Amino acid sequence: MLVAALSRLLSATILRHALSVLLADGAAAAAAAAAVAAAGPTLDDVEGRLTFPAVEGRDVQGLANPSGFLRMPVSRHSANTSHLTANLTERSITELAKRWGREHVNALASGVVYVMDLSIGTPPQTVQVVIDTGAYQVWVNQSVTSYYPSASQTASYIGPNMTLQYGTGALYGQMWSDTVQIAMFQVPTVRFLVALFTTIIYPGILGLAYTPPTSPFTGLISAMVQMKYINAPIFSLGLGSLDNDYGEVIFGGVNRARFADQLEPLDIWPPTSQQTNGPLYLVNMTSLGWTEPGGPSHTVTPSNFSLNVLIDTGSSLSYLPWDAFQLLIDSVNAVHGVDNYYVVNCKYQGMNGTFDFGFNHGKMVIRVPYKEFIYSFAPDICFLGVQPTTSTAVLGSTFLRAAYGAYDLSAPLRRPENLFSPRAGLLTPLRRRYIVAFDQESDVVWMGQFKNCGDEVVSVGRAGLDTGNVVGAC
The tens digit of pLDDT for each residue in 402-446 reads 665 555 555 343 332 222 222 222 222 223 455 788 999 999 999
Residues 51, 125 contacting (CB under 8 angstroms): no
CA-CA distance, 227 to 411, in Å (whole number)?
A: 17
Is the link from the previous residue into 279 a cis peptide, with omega within 30 of 0? yes
SS (H, E, C) the chain: CHHHHHHHHHHHHHHHHHHHHHCCCCHHHHHHHHHHHHHCCEEECCCCEEECCCCCCCCHHHCCCCCCCEEEEEEEEECCCHHHHCCCCHHHHCCECCCCCCECHHHCCCCEEEEEEEEECCCCEEEEEEEECCCCCEEEECCCCCCCHHHCCCCEECCCCEEEEECCEEEEEEEEEEEEEECCEEEEEEEEEEEEEECCCCCEEEECCCCCCCCCCCCHHHHHHHCCCCCCCEEEEECCCCCCCEEEEEECEEEHHHECCCCEEEECCCCHHHCCCCCCCEEEEEEEEEECCCCCEEECCCCCCCEEEEECCCCCCEEECHHHHHHHHHHCCCEECCCCCEEECHHHHHCCCEEEEEECCCCEEEEEEHHHHEEEEECCEEEECEEECCCCEEECHHHHCCCEEEEECCCCCCCCCCCCCCCCCCCCCCCCCEEEEEECCCCEEEEEEECCCCCCEEECCCCCCHHHHCCCCC
Instruction: Spell out the residues 6+ positions from residue 452 whose beta carbon is closer than 8 angstroms to its own.
Output: 257, 258, 474
Whether the predicted pLDDT of 101 surpasses 60: no
| Residue 297, pLDDT score | 94
Domains 74-226 and 237-469 share a fold: yes
Q: Mean pLDDT across the stretch 250-263?
A: 88
Specify the length of the chain in residues.
474
User: pLDDT band at residue 398, thresholds of 50, 70 and 90?
Assistant: confident
| Residue 201, pLDDT score | 67
Single-letter amino acid, residue 436: V
Q: What count of Cα atoms within 13 Å lies in the side-chain half-sphere of residue 452?
A: 4
The tens digit of pLDDT for each residue in 289-320 reads 999 998 999 999 999 999 999 998 888 889 99
Q: In the chain, what are the domain boundaries?
A: 2-58, 74-226, 237-469
| Residue 463, pLDDT score | 85
| Residue 467, pLDDT score | 92
Residues 224, 230 contacting (CB under 8 angstroms): yes
Give the torsion sign (CA, 145, 151, 154, 159).
positive
Antiparallel, parallel or unpaired: β 125-132 and 204-207 = parallel
CA-CA distance, 144 to 81, in Å (whole number)?
A: 11
| Residue 131, pLDDT score | 87
The highest-confidence range among 45-59, 141-155, 231-245, by mean pLDDT, is 141-155
Instruction: Spell out the residues 6+ positions from residue 181 whose beta carbon is closer than 8 angstroms to its own.
Output: 118, 119, 120, 124, 187
| Residue 65, pLDDT score | 84
Q: Give per-residue burial for 397-418: e unless 16+ CB within 10 Å, then b.
A: bbbbbbbbbbbbbbebeeeeee
Cα–Cα distance list, 147 to 20, 125, 192 (Å): 31, 6, 12
Q: Mean pLDDT across the stretch 108-131?
A: 80
- Name which of 84-98, 181-195, 209-223, 370-384 the model is least confident about: 84-98
**By CB neighbour count within 10 A (0-12 exposed, 13-18 middle, 19+ buried), where does 267 fall?**
buried
| Residue 200, pLDDT score | 72
| Residue 159, pLDDT score | 84
Whether the predicted pLDDT of 49 surpasses 90: no
| Residue 112, pLDDT score | 63
User: pLDDT band at residue 75, thresholds of 50, 70 and 90?
Assistant: confident
Fold of 237-469: Cathepsin D, subunit A; domain 1 (2.40.70)
Single-letter amino acid, residue 45: D
Cα–Cα distance list, 465 to 12, 133, 264, 322 (Å): 35, 20, 11, 35
Whether the predicted pLDDT of 154 surpasses 80: yes
CA-CA distance, 76 to 97, in Å (whole number)?
A: 18
User: pLDDT band at residue 203, thresholds of 50, 70 and 90?
Assistant: confident
| Residue 164, pLDDT score | 87
Whether the predicted pLDDT of 77 surpasses 90: no
Percent of the chain with pLDDT over 70: 68
- Name which of 16-25, 50-59, 119-128, 388-397 the model is least confident about: 50-59
Report pTM.
0.75
CA-CA distance, 403 to 27, in Å (whole number)?
A: 45
Does the domain formed by 74-226 have CATH 2.40.70.10?
A: yes
Helix-helix angle 27-39:2-22, to 10 degrees: 160
User: How does the average pLDDT of the chain come out, rounded?
Assistant: 74
User: pLDDT band at residue 387, thresholds of 50, 70 and 90?
Assistant: very high
| Residue 237, pLDDT score | 82
- Name which of 19-23, 66-70, 255-259 the model is least confident about: 19-23
The highest-confidence range among 68-72, 167-171, 237-241, by mean pLDDT, is 68-72
